[in-house]
Structure formats: C-alpha cells, structure tokens
Structure 1
Amino acid sequence: MDDREDANPIVVLGGGPAGMASALSLHTAGHPVIILERYREARPAGNILNLWPPPIKALRAMGVDTTDLGAPCHTTFRSAGGHVRADIRIPESVTAEFGGGFIGMLRPDLYERMLAALPDGMLRTHQEVVSIHDGGQDVVLLGLADGSTIETPVLVGADGIDSMVRAQLWGASEKRDHRLHIIGGYTFEPVPSAEKGEAVLTHDREVQGSYTSIRRGAEEGFQWWVLEAWDPSREPPADLHAHALALAGRFGGALEELVRLTPAEHEQRWPIRDRKPLTQWSKGRVTLAGDAAHATSPYAAYGAGMSICDGYFLGQALHGVDLADRRAVEAALVRYETPRIPHTTAQVQQAYALGQAFHHAPRPLRPVRDFLLDHTPLLQKQVGERSPGEIIAQLDEMGAGITSPALR
C-alpha cells in the first residue's frame, strides 16, 4: 500500500488525458492524488490521435508504457496535386529517442496505456462535483452530487472545454465556433497506395484530406480525416460515410480508398470549437489543465499532447512543495502556468488562423493563397521549420524528468 493514501489528496477533476497525466505526474512528484470522473469510466472522446515527442517524453516520465504505442511518421503538407508545401523535418536524434517525429495512434489505445499506469484507487468514477469553495485557508472544499464533500489542498480542473472549474474561476465564456467540422476514421485493411510511415496533410481550395499510419499491437493501418467549412446551424450529414467519401473523392487515390474501406463504426464527426485563451489559469489553490485551459482545433495536431505536457509541468512545479503552505502552493501554480500560457496560446491561435486561412478565405483570394503556398517558402517557414524548433525547445524545457526540472 502507498503510504500516501491516508494523506489529504490533491484532487484532479476529469479523467481524460489531461486529468490522467496530471494525476500520474503529481504522484511521481510525491503527492497523494485522486481523479474524480463524473462518468462510469474514463472514456475517450474520439477515435484518432497523433502525438509529438514532448508528450511521449512526458508519458514515459509518468510511468506509462509507450512501447509500440503508435506508428512513427514523417509529416508533410501538400497541395491536392501532390506538391510538398511544408516538410516537417525532426532531427534524427529526436526521432530515434522517442520512436518517431509524429506518432499516429488510436485514442482508446492511449487511454488503455494511461489507465494501466494509474495506481489502484486513484481513479474514482461516478463522482460529480457540483460546487467548489476556496475560502483562502488550507483546503478547497468540493461538494458532490450525492451530498458528500471532499477537502483537497489543490484542485486541478482538467474537466474539458465545458469546464466547471474554469467557469468558477473566471466566469462564463462563449465557445468560439470555427465554422468547421471534421470527419475521421480508421481501417486496418491493406491499401497499397497509402504511404506507410507518413502523415500526409493535403488541401485543395476548400477541403483538407489527410491520412496517417497507425499501429495497434502487431496490426498496422491508417487513420484518416476530412475537414471542411460547415455552418453550425446546419444539420450533420445524414449519411456520414457517404459524405466523407465524397470529400475524399476530391483527392482520390489512397485517401479515397481508405475512407471506402472504413466501417461506419470506425467513423466519427465533430464540429470544431474552442474558447479564447486565458491570460491566467490559477487562483488560490485551484488551477486548470488541458482543454479546460486551452481547447484547441485539430489544426494544431497537438491538443492531447499539450494536455499531457500540462500534467508533466504541473508535477514539476509542485514537486517538493509543502501543500499545507498556501503561499508555496500559489507560487508553484504560477511557476506552472507562466511558461505554459504563452506556449499553448500560440498553438491555439495558430490552429484557429490556419483553419480560417484554408477554409474561410474569400473565394477570389484562394488562387492567390494557393499560388503563394506552392511557389514560396511561406508554409515551410511557418510550419515546416517552426514546428521542429518548438519541439526541440519544449524537450529542453522539460529537463531530465518530473523531479529534475531544467534550469530556467
């Protein structure tokens, strides 16, 4: 039995990637911690996923088994005709250490690995928090739907885009609708024309069509997605598969065949929304992580990854901190959020801008946009060169581990 079990635990609200990562990191940092999940299980809100090296490093530091978690991929942005507009070249030393530059996987597989790493009793399901009170003393008081209460020295709101913790701290805020939707799916059927070990992101004048290698155990396959402008007042497509296939048909080849071979139960649609970034996450003994702090468009390809890294840096910040010392806790939460806010804000805003540029540019400007993307290094500099630099900087910032932060 862990000798920390009898101590007053840190409470993490939400059992998604941000919540599990926060709990695992805080546990690694030496603190007792529990996760309160309102549903009967921690369940993935999606089917497809990609991770860059920083979250892989974070997962390893938390004790999550990342061996063969997904398929390592090289990433390119291309025109509909196949011209490479941006090539994301991750240094070989990084890809060798972390099993690839861009890891394609299925979201349920990540959940399975993270759940397996949780100590017994850490995850508590059917626990709905309905009230939060931080009276400026030694604990935060949580009221649960069943009438019980829990006291905690630190509350981490990892409860998603509709976070009650965020609303409690900073008030209600409107969701920002990107007026886009994405349909994604996966198949393990063989498609010889699909490029193994690649993440191919292709655009025509209006639609993004993309696919990425994935791996599940010994099985190798592909995930895919199509993304287009969509008025949120419209009803979703009546036949999701037929609609996705029509969009993939604009690109033909491997993407169209991948969609054709995907069974309906492996497909999903979701509208793209976020909330405008906050300039502060923490107040008193309460802070935020993951989508509660920075819900992000999939154009960042980094939403789950940022959430996992939030947990890593939170554990670093609270390592060695006396949780009974309110000032020490508050200072630690400031240390946690100070470097994370500019990093995540930049990712959220860039993802929003890319979505608008590719799908909501005025029609007469689209040929000009595409000419610039095909005949200038604009996208290569903005994405192809910037992304590897940010990845390397993030790895350096992470230091040697949760209990061994980098000097800043």
Structure 2
Amino acid sequence: MKRLDIGIAGAGPAGLALALMLSRQGHRVEILERFAEASPVGSGLMLQPTGLTALDALGLLPAMMTLGSRIDRLHGADATSGRTVLDVRYDALSGGRFGLAVQRAALFGVLHDAVAAAGIPVHTGVTLAAATTLGAKAVLVDASGRETGCYDLVIDATGARSTIAAGATTAPGVRELAYGAFWATLDSDGLTHDRNALTQRYDRAKVMIGILPAGRARPAARDHVAFFWSVKVCDANAVKMAGLNRWKAGIRGYWPDCAPLLDQIDDWDQLTLARYAHRTMRPPVSGRVAFVGDSAHSTSPQLGQGANMALIDAATLAQALSVTDNINAALAAYGRARRNHMALFQLLSLAFTPFYQSDSTALAWLRDRLVATIARIPPAPALLASIVSGTLIDPFAAAGLEECDWHAVRAQPLAENALAMSA
C-alpha cells in the first residue's frame, strides 16, 4: 500500500493501537478525540489471549504484564446457597493460556505513551458528527457541520454510541439492553478475595455482583479491584433515591466479604453506570470509512470480549492494508476476515446474557442446575475456556498474528511482584 493519510476518530484502545500499527507501516496518521484531554473511560477489563497477542505484536505486552493481575479462572456462586454455578478455567485448554485483568487507565496509559513516543498527533476537543466519502477521499465533519479533515481513509473508533456509525450506509439497528451495571475501581486492602479469579455472586439472574482484581494503573501504584453490581437501567434512579446505605446493606447481605469495598464508597459519584447495547455492522465499512471496536459491534460484557475484539479488529485492518495496494480491496478483505469471528461472539454474548442478567427465573434455574452440571462434563470445560479466550474460531491468521508462547509470557513479572522487584 502506498503511504496513506489516515484520520482515526477516537483515542480508545482500538484507535490508539491502530495508530501505532499503521504508523509503523509508514502511513501518516492522526487521531481526533472529542475530550479536551485524551483519557480512559471505565473501570476494569479482562484482556484475553486475543487482545494480549495483539499487544504482544506491538511490543507492549511486557508493560501490561507489570500492571495487570493474571486471571486463571472465572468463578460464580449462588449468593444464598453458595453453590458453584460457573467455573471456567483457562487450564482446561492446553498451551498455558490465561486472562489479564487490568484497569482501563493502565491499558490507556501504555498505548497512549507509545503513541506519544511515536510522535503521532492527537487532536483533542474535536466533536465529530459524521464521515462522508467523496470520490477517493473520506471527510470528517464536526458537530457544527464544519469539515475537520480530508483523508485517504477514516477509521471510526468512537464506540457504541458513535454518530459516525449511526450515519453510515451500513448502520445497524440498535437494541438497548435492559441491564447495565454500577462500576467502581477500589482499593483492595483488607479484602478477602482470589487474586487470580473473576469472582461473582448471583441471586437468580436479577442480581450479579462481581470482583475483578485489576492490578495497578501505573507501576508504583497500589493494587485495586474493579467492583460491579448489575442493575436494570430503568431502575438505577430508584436505587439511588432509596439511598446509598440501603444499597450497601443489600450487597452486604448477599456477600459480606464486600464490606471493605463498600466502606470506601461515600457518594454515588464514585460509581459509574454502564449501559450496554447490541449492534452489529455488516460489513464494518462504508465507502472510505472503516469501523473498529464497539463502533462496528457491541453487546453485553458477559464474555469479556469488548477490548479484545477491538484490538483484533485493529490488527486485522492493519494486516489487510499491508498486503494489498488497493484501499477498497483492503477494506473488503477486512470485512470478510472479521465476519465469522465477530458474528460468533456477538451471538454467544447475546445468548449467554439472559442467564446472568434478566428477569427470567426459569433461565436462572436452568443455569444453576442443568447448565452448571453440563459445564463440568468434558469437552464442555475446554469449550467454555475457548469461548472466554476468544479463540473458539481462530482470529489470529487473518490478523497476521502468531499466538503468544503463553508459558514464556507467564514468566514475565506481574503487578503483584513488579513493585517489589523495582524496590
């Protein structure tokens, strides 16, 4: 591909990763971000083997390993009986795979520092409204209708509420999901928890409480956890009106071990209400505009694939642009390469979500008794591990990636011992 002028809308993980990949291929890249200062949004997330492999290709995995907490299993139990209803272990697959729980601030910081070191311009305070294709160019337009840039290619990485995606010819319908979650990043001091597991408690499918060890935002910082509580979006205001103490008392009743976390919450402003929507753009291109991450596909976070799918999108698009000298052919190849993997995990997320976030008593009963039993019978453990890993079908070949040697990666320092090593 000849040297292209590329405008990337959005300085999230997908946008920053793509800027690095494309700049290293020799393209002129600039990022446009709506906030006055580029910054992370959200609490914690799980980097799966897919996302970790993409970061490894950028040379950024060692930095992430020093900040994150390795996750070996996902465990969920009924809050009343204590019965295990979810137990997914990465070691059900061969190869030594694992997840890495990180704070969004840590992932943002590692990627943003690399972008800054590469000299890639980031223009902040630019609120984009649309992208149009004019001949062989793509034009970005801001909220006032003014042209903000003309490029050979525009990449939309502005997320699930993207106005650029909403105005595209391939824009999908949006299905708002009933359940969201309150999230907070909290100090882990005094908390009794499994440092290598995402742990959850359930009351049927109406209540889901979770603790995710999330490592450090920066090397010298203290360990934190991401704490979340599932809630119907339409009930969020009523929960707030009932008062913080009542909400805390309810959680303590379900899970007394959460007390050290709840003691840190003095105001609703410490909690962020996350809302989710299901949408899939097919194909994830429109003219000279490509869509990556939640701009192209979004769903519930039940399988923990959001940031990982975005990083694989980025690698796949960069790979498509590197192996052809025609932009239109490269964009078509990107759409084909991502179609099956994206569709499968969109379907799985949509199918699994009602078992954990819904008003259905019947689905919760099936989850706790039938599904939990089947999940322990081979080959179900390996199948569940491959779903969580994001590798039920291979996403690596089309992205030009070679999966990590996980045994070698495990030898790298993690957040829990990086501070001691630096001292």
- TM score, norm. by length of structure 2: 0.80
Q: Which amino acid aligns with 2:295?
A: A
Superposed counterparts of 1:177-326, under 5 Å: 177-191=176-190, 193-205=192-204, 206-216=206-216, 217-218=219-220, 219-231=222-234, 235=238, 237-238=240-241, 241-242=244-245, 245-262=248-265, 264=267, 267-322=270-325
Counterpart-to-counterpart distance in 2, 1:386 and 1:121: 35
Change (3 A) 1:230 1:142: closer
Counterpart-to-counterpart distance in 1, 2:347 and 2:173: 16
Counterpart-to-counterpart distance in 1, 2:381 and 2:273: 28
Counterpart-to-counterpart distance in 1, 2:290 and 2:123: 20
Q: What's the offset of the Cα at 1:293?
A: 0.6
What are the superposed Cα offsets for residues 13-39 of structure 1, whole Å, 9 maximum, x if unpaired?
111112112211211232111111122
Counterpart-to-counterpart distance in 2, 1:207 and 1:149: 45
1:98 match: none
1:11 match: 7
Structure 2 SS opposite 1:57: helix
Q: What's the offset of the Cα at 1:67?
A: 3.9
Q: What's the offset of the Cα at 1:70?
A: 0.8
What are the superposed Cα offsets for residues 270-322 of structure 1, whole Å, 9 maximum, x if unpaired?
24321431221113321101111112211121111211221111111111544
Change (3 A) 1:36 1:84: same
* 1:103 and 2:100 aligned: yes
What are the superposed Cα offsets for residues 33-66 of structure 1, whole Å, 9 maximum, x if unpaired?
1111122122222122221122122123234342
* 1:394 and 2:395 aligned: yes
Q: Which amino acid aligns with 2:54?
A: A
Structure 2 SS opposite 1:193: coil
- Asked whether the 8 Å contact 1:13–1:155 carries over to 2, the reply is yes
Q: Which amino acid aligns with 1:170?
A: T
2:421 match: none
2:151 match: 152
Change (3 A) 1:199 1:233: closer
Change (3 A) 1:241 1:59: farther
Counterpart-to-counterpart distance in 1, 2:288 and 2:362: 52
Superposed counterparts of 1:84-99, under 5 Å: 85-90=86-91, 91=93, 93-95=95-97
Q: What's the offset of the Cα at 1:257?
A: 3.6
* Greater than 6 Å deviation, 4+ residue runs: none
2:419 match: none
RMSD after superposition = 3.1
Q: What's the offset of the Cα at 1:159?
A: 1.6
Q: What's the offset of the Cα at 1:392?
A: 8.0
- 333-342 or 169-178: which moved more? 169-178
- Asked whether the 8 Å contact 1:88–1:385 carries over to 2, the reply is no
- Asked whether the 8 Å contact 1:41–1:125 carries over to 2, the reply is yes
- 207-216 or 372-381: which moved more? 372-381
1:53 match: 49
- 101-110 or 55-64: which moved more? 55-64
Aligned residues: 386
* 1:112 and 2:109 aligned: yes
Structure 2 SS opposite 1:199: strand
Match of 1:68 among 66, 71, 77: 66
2:18 match: 22
Q: Which amino acid aligns with 1:17?
A: P
Structure 1 SS opposite 2:279: coil
Structure 2 SS opposite 1:299: coil
- Asked whether the 8 Å contact 1:13–1:36 carries over to 2, the reply is yes
Counterpart-to-counterpart distance in 2, 1:69 and 1:392: 29
- Asked whether the 8 Å contact 1:46–1:268 carries over to 2, the reply is no
